[in-house]
Structure 1
Amino acid sequence: MDISPFLHLTIELSIGFFALLLITKLIGQRQIHQITPFDFISALVLGELLGNAIYDPETTIFFILYALFLWGFLMYVIEKITQKFRKTRSFFEGDPSIIIRNGKIDFNELKKQKLDINELQSLLRSKDVFSIREVEYAILEPSGSISVLKKSKYSNPTSEDLNLSQKKVCLPVALILDGEILFDNLKSCGFDDNWLEKQLKSHKIDNAREVLFAEWKEDEGLFILKGPINR
């Protein structure tokens, strides 16, 4: 069997993979819910360029790289332009849209954003709001997500509202992940492996490899979760 086609495909996929990874690093990383329409189109085009090039035997690997890096360069330039010139952000990234104002739905804005009531309710439910009557303001973000400000009588009371004393906010720090001790995190908390070993033994655990996840929180102490280790 001729393995040259497989070797050629392996080389093209590997180069394409690392080229896309490099472009992603250059233009910055965003979470899925932060992706703007421009980012979405760019991702589709990059994937299409790579896919077509891989399955087109007449396309050389140099053409793949040129197409990827040219498109990546254009994306990089646009990112820099939007960072430097505020007025360009509206065109490339879009503007947030107030679709509920002072408790009333702006139907003109809703129509402009091509949303119906069912879609609006679905977006609100994603924010744990199950009735439009609870909403004072709702803003549709350029990414398609929604930000909600509830009416005062439906909002959760704060510690200040209840005249409660302010508590220190502590950040949880992972100490063990998939059976491996995170020594840098352990040291940043002011502990060492001897302290951790004593803590584990107090929970009847002989070895960190038995621990799926463990975290330290200054105001609550050590939390340990045993379970199957992902290897």
Structure 2
Amino acid sequence: MNTNFLSLTVELFVGFFALLVLTKILGKNQITQLTPFDFISALVLGELVGNAIYDKDIGLHYVIYAVFLWGALIYTIEMITQKFRGSRSILEGKPSFIIAKGKIQFSELKKNKLDFDQLLHLLRSQGVFSIREVEYGVLETNGSVSVLKKSQYSYPTQQDLNMPPTSVKFPVILILDGEVIQEGLDKLNKDSVWLKKELFQRGIAGTKQVVYAEWLEDEGFEIQTY
């Protein structure tokens, strides 16, 4: 029993420091710029170490071998992408413009398997609560979104101009991907008849033609069609 504990302790220490050394070798980008490939690599590496440590039929040398062989493969990929620019789009992917000139790029969303709820979540994580604020939105290779706001929504702020603060309004989403959001209509105390009438006045035959629509008090509608 004591021998098993001693063996497990040694293997855990070796596995821990082997991962620590590997992290130092691979660099901080494995954490700060975690791409889907990096994420899967980290999972596989953890699984290899876990199996090697807790499987009694696998010795200590297998722990070290598994860690450093997988690390060598990742390091090789990193060297290839650094030296050969053309390989980056294949091995790491490339950024996609999911919003361009204020318009949602539906084809890019579809290509990247990104739905509108996910898009709105990513924008909110960047402090953007309305698509009307965005001039360009770029889906990065690590799954985050970089945003360039329209000029009227960018700095300087009211504080910079010594202007009195005004109340902040939260946009109400009315249509997503052709589907009417009933919760949004309820917040405005409106119904689908009112919404269809507003669309018709803007030359839009029905909700199925609308990829995104929201209402913001004092600014009105933001509507984008397919």
Q: Which structure 2 segments of 5+ residues have no match?
A: 162-226
Q: Any conservation in 1 of the 2:99–2:134 contact (CA below 8 Å)?
A: yes
Partner of 2:152: 153
Secondary structure at the counterpart of residue 58 of structure 1:
coil
Q: Any conservation in 2 of the 1:33–1:144 contact (CA below 8 Å)?
A: no
Secondary structure at the counterpart of residue 95 of structure 1:
coil
Partner of 2:85: 86
Quote how far apart the aligned CAs of 1:30 are.
Answer: 2.6
Q: How does 1:109-148 map to 2 (within 5 A)?
A: 109-148=108-147
Cα deviation digits, residues 77-136 of structure 1 (max 9, x gap): 111111000011111111000000000000000111111111111111111111011110
Counterpart residue identity of residue 19, structure 2:
L
Partner of 2:5: 6
Percent of residue pairs bearing the same amino acid type: 65
Q: Which structure 1 segments of 5+ residues have no match?
A: 163-231
Verify: 1:60 aligned to 2:55, yes or no: no
Verify: 1:41 aligned to 2:76, yes or no: no
User: In the superposition, relative to structure 1, how do residues 8 and 19 fare at CA in structure 2: closer, same or farther (>3 Å)?
Assistant: same
Counterpart residue identity of residue 55, structure 2:
D
User: In the superposition, relative to structure 1, how do residues 31 and 47 fare at CA in structure 2: closer, same or farther (>3 Å)?
Assistant: closer
Quote how far apart the aligned CAs of 1:67 are.
Answer: 1.3
Secondary structure at the counterpart of residue 74 of structure 1:
helix
Cα deviation digits, residues 2-25 of structure 1 (max 9, x gap): 311111110000000011111111
Q: How does 1:13-28 map to 2 (within 5 A)?
A: 13-28=12-27
Counterpart residue identity of residue 55, structure 1:
Y
Secondary structure at the counterpart of residue 26 of structure 1:
helix
Counterpart residue identity of residue 147, structure 2:
V
Counterpart residue identity of residue 41, structure 1:
I
Quote how far apart the aligned CAs of 1:29 are.
Answer: 1.3
Partner of 1:223: none
Verify: 1:99 aligned to 2:94, yes or no: no
- 2: CA distance between counterparts of 1:152 and 1:146? 19
- 1: CA distance between counterparts of 2:71 and 2:102? 43
Secondary structure at the counterpart of residue 139 of structure 1:
strand
- 1: CA distance between counterparts of 2:128 and 2:20? 38
**TM-score (ref. length: structure 1):** 0.66
Which deviates more, 27-36 or 95-104?
27-36
- 2: CA distance between counterparts of 1:127 and 1:83? 28
Moved over 4 A (4+): none
Q: Any conservation in 2 of the 1:110–1:116 contact (CA below 8 Å)?
A: yes
Matched residue pairs, number? Answer: 160
Quote how far apart the aligned CAs of 1:32 are.
Answer: 4.1
Q: Any conservation in 2 of the 1:33–1:143 contact (CA below 8 Å)?
A: no
Counterpart residue identity of residue 83, structure 2:
K
Q: Any conservation in 1 of the 2:30–2:38 contact (CA below 8 Å)?
A: no
**TM-score (ref. length: structure 2):** 0.68
Secondary structure at the counterpart of residue 144 of structure 1:
coil
Q: Any conservation in 2 of the 1:124–1:146 contact (CA below 8 Å)?
A: yes
